[in-house]
Structure 1
Amino acid sequence: MNKAFRDALFHQDMAFYEEIKGHSDEEKAIRFNVYRNNVYVSLIDALADIFPVSQTLVGDEFFRAMAREYLQENLPKTPIIGEYGATFADFIRAFEPSKSVPFLGDLADLEHKLLTLTHAQEYPTLEHEQISAAFNNTSDPTRLLLGLSPNTSVMSSCYAIGSLYLAHKQPRRQNVAQIQPYNSEYLLLSKRSIYGEVYIISEAEAVFIQRLMQNKTLEQAIPDDAMFDTGSSLAKLIQWKLITHVSEADA
Structure 2
Amino acid sequence: MSIQADFAAALLDTRLPCPAGLCSTNGADPASRFAVYRNNVQASLINALADSYPVVQQLVGEEFFRAMAGLFIQQQPPRSPLMSRYGDGLAAFIAAFEPAAEVPYLADVARLERLRTRAYHAGDAAAVSAHQISAALADPQTLAALTITLHPSLHLLDSAYAVVSIWAAHQQNATLAGIDITRMQQALVLRNGLEVEVFALDLGASMFIRHLLNQQPLLDAVQHCPSFNLPQTLALLIGHNAITALHNKVLP
TM-score normalised by L of structure 2? 0.87
Alpha-carbon shift at residue 149 of structure 1 (Å):
2.4
Q: Partner residue of 1:216? A: 216
Deviation string, structure 1 residues 24-82 (Cα, Å, up to 9, x no partner): 7xx33222212211211111111100100100111111111111111222211222111
Deviation string, structure 1 residues 176-208 (Cα, Å, up to 9, x no partner): 322222211111222221343321100010121
Q: Partner residue of 1:20? A: 24
CA pair 175-101 structure 1, distance change in 2 beyond 3 A: closer
Distance 1:194 1:47 in 2: 21
- More deviation in 122-131 or 190-199? 190-199
- More deviation in 220-229 or 180-189? 220-229
Matched, 1:144 2:143: no
Q: Partner residue of 2:50? A: 48
Q: Figure out how many residues of one structure are paired with residues of the other and give that number.
A: 246
Matched, 1:75 2:56: no
Letter in 1 for 2:91: A
Counterpart pick for 2:111 among 96, 109, 112: 109
Letter in 2 for 1:149: H
TM-score normalised by L of structure 1? 0.87
Question: Would you say the 8 A contact 2:207–2:225 is kept in 1?
Answer: no
Distance 2:189 2:223 in 1: 20
Distance 2:85 2:142 in 1: 45
Q: What secondary structure sits across from 2:101 in the alignment?
A: helix
Question: Would you say the 8 A contact 1:114–1:189 is kept in 2?
Answer: yes
Structure 1, unaligned stretches of length 5 or more?
A: none
Alpha-carbon shift at residue 16 of structure 1 (Å):
4.8
Matched, 1:118 2:107: no
Higher helix share: 1
Question: Would you say the 8 A contact 1:186–1:202 is kept in 2?
Answer: yes
Question: Would you say the 8 A contact 1:8–1:16 is kept in 2?
Answer: no
Deviation string, structure 1 residues 143-165 (Cα, Å, up to 9, x no partner): 43222223323210111111111
Q: What secondary structure sits across from 1:117 in the alignment?
A: helix
Among the aligned pairs, what percent are the same residue? 35
Alpha-carbon shift at residue 4 of structure 1 (Å):
4.6
Q: What secondary structure sits across from 2:196 in the alignment?
A: strand
Alpha-carbon shift at residue 221 of structure 1 (Å):
1.4
Q: What secondary structure sits across from 1:169 in the alignment?
A: coil
Letter in 2 for 1:148: L
- More deviation in 239-248 or 216-225? 216-225
Alpha-carbon shift at residue 140 of structure 1 (Å):
6.2
Counterpart pick for 2:61 among 35, 55, 59: 59
Structure 2, unaligned stretches of length 5 or more?
A: none
Letter in 1 for 2:250: D
Question: Would you say the 8 A contact 1:106–1:157 is kept in 2?
Answer: yes
Question: Would you say the 8 A contact 1:17–1:28 is kept in 2?
Answer: no
Alpha-carbon shift at residue 167 of structure 1 (Å):
2.1
Q: What secondary structure sits across from 1:220 in the alignment?
A: helix
Question: Would you say the 8 A contact 1:117–1:191 is kept in 2?
Answer: yes
Deviation string, structure 1 residues 108-137 (Cα, Å, up to 9, x no partner): 111112101211111111121221232344
Letter in 1 for 2:106: L
Q: What secondary structure sits across from 1:178 in the alignment?
A: coil
> For residues 95-244 of structure 1, what are the structure 2 equivalents within 5 Å?
95-139=97-141, 141-170=143-172, 173-174=173-174, 176-223=176-223, 227-244=227-244
Q: CA RMSD in A?
A: 2.4
Distance 2:5 2:80 in 1: 11
Distance 2:76 2:230 in 1: 45
Alpha-carbon shift at residue 22 of structure 1 (Å):
6.1
